[in-house]
Amino acid sequence: MRPTEAWALLSEGPARTMRTCLQLSDGSGLMALKGGASGMGEIALCLPQGLLLPELHTSWAGLNMGEFRRTSDPETLYLTLGPQDAYRHVFTLLCEDLMETLARARNSLDVQELTFSHLSLWSGFLQQQGGEPDARTVRGLYGELRFLEDLLVPAVGWRTALQAWTGPTGAPNDVVLPGVRVEVKTTTPEDQMAVISSLEQLDPPGQDGLWLAQALMHPDPEGETLADLLIRLKASAHAVACAGLLQARVDQTGVSPDTRMCHQLICWQLHRADSETFPRLLRQNLLPGIRQCTYRIDLAGYQGVRPDSDQLRLALRNAGMEFIS
């Protein structure tokens, strides 16, 4: 049972109510809580005494952390994670993602290592955004929105597309559906370097099919601004009562659509990022002890077979049907 499902069954109140969501190894577990410090939904790692890594006491951006023991079981420590008010819209996705990650744990030490690594990844995305976004950030959001318009929405519809679009919340991949993950990278013909911000981005947990969608664009004074694109998308989403959800997801990015930068999309270039020939770093090939790294891939130099857009649309359509069912 996932945290979101458990929270729906638990009662409100000042006292913590618990339901185990995921039983791990060596007496560890991941639980859903209601009440307590958060008053709403929070999760707790159930850990045998003496196994807690000091790093897990770190104050993570966007999260309230604490711990408690029950008088009936004083040997077990419960490490709690709850959202600060500004991050409730992100916390559910973090919990779902953490649950999927911890399902791979083999023992309690694994649980702690994976939790530390995962919170390290998410903490960067939970940092408050400030200042004027740079051109690369604006261009990247434009590319993600064009991916919604050109490929994702035609394949699965607006509501499923907005549920699958996890990019604004800082999840490892921009689009996640059952059996399909898509990472959207926006480049220019002159600079086709794709920045890979974490190992999870191109080496995610599970066996989902992994695609990289490259939007080739260049600045064009006669092109389209981010604000113009958003107006068009909101009109389309409004027809199926999804305009408010679209606006909320865009607001999460922290990028203002009132920009004068103009863009022209030249074409989409698609890559199977899970191909053996695609140049990505795999955790299994790295030296022990490496938890995170950032690297760049020169997509202009990749000579592998590129699938066409119809193949990706079919994969998205099939995944969307499974998502709905």
Q: Same domain, yes or no, for 93 and 199?
A: no
Residue-level pLDDT at 289: 78
Residue-level pLDDT at 14: 63
Number of domains in the chain: 2
Q: Same domain, yes or no, for 99 and 175?
A: no
Q: Same domain, yes or no, for 304 and 172?
A: yes
User: By the 8 A CB rule, do 305 and 269 touch?
Assistant: no
Q: Same domain, yes or no, for 96 and 223?
A: no
Q: Is 178 helix (H, G, I), strand (E, B) or coil?
A: coil
Range of the domain at 35: 3-126
Rounded distance between C-alpha atoms, residue 58 and residue 61, angstroms? 10
Mean pLDDT split into 10-residue runs, the chain, 325 residues: 71 69 74 66 74 56 74 79 67 74 75 73 57 75 95 94 78 86 93 89 81 92 90 94 85 75 92 92 86 88 89 93 73
Cβ count within 10 A of residue 259: 17
What contacts 237, CB < 8 A, 6 or more positions away? Answer: 158, 162, 243, 245, 246
User: By the 8 A CB rule, do 88 and 50 touch?
Assistant: no
Q: Same domain, yes or no, for 79 and 173?
A: no
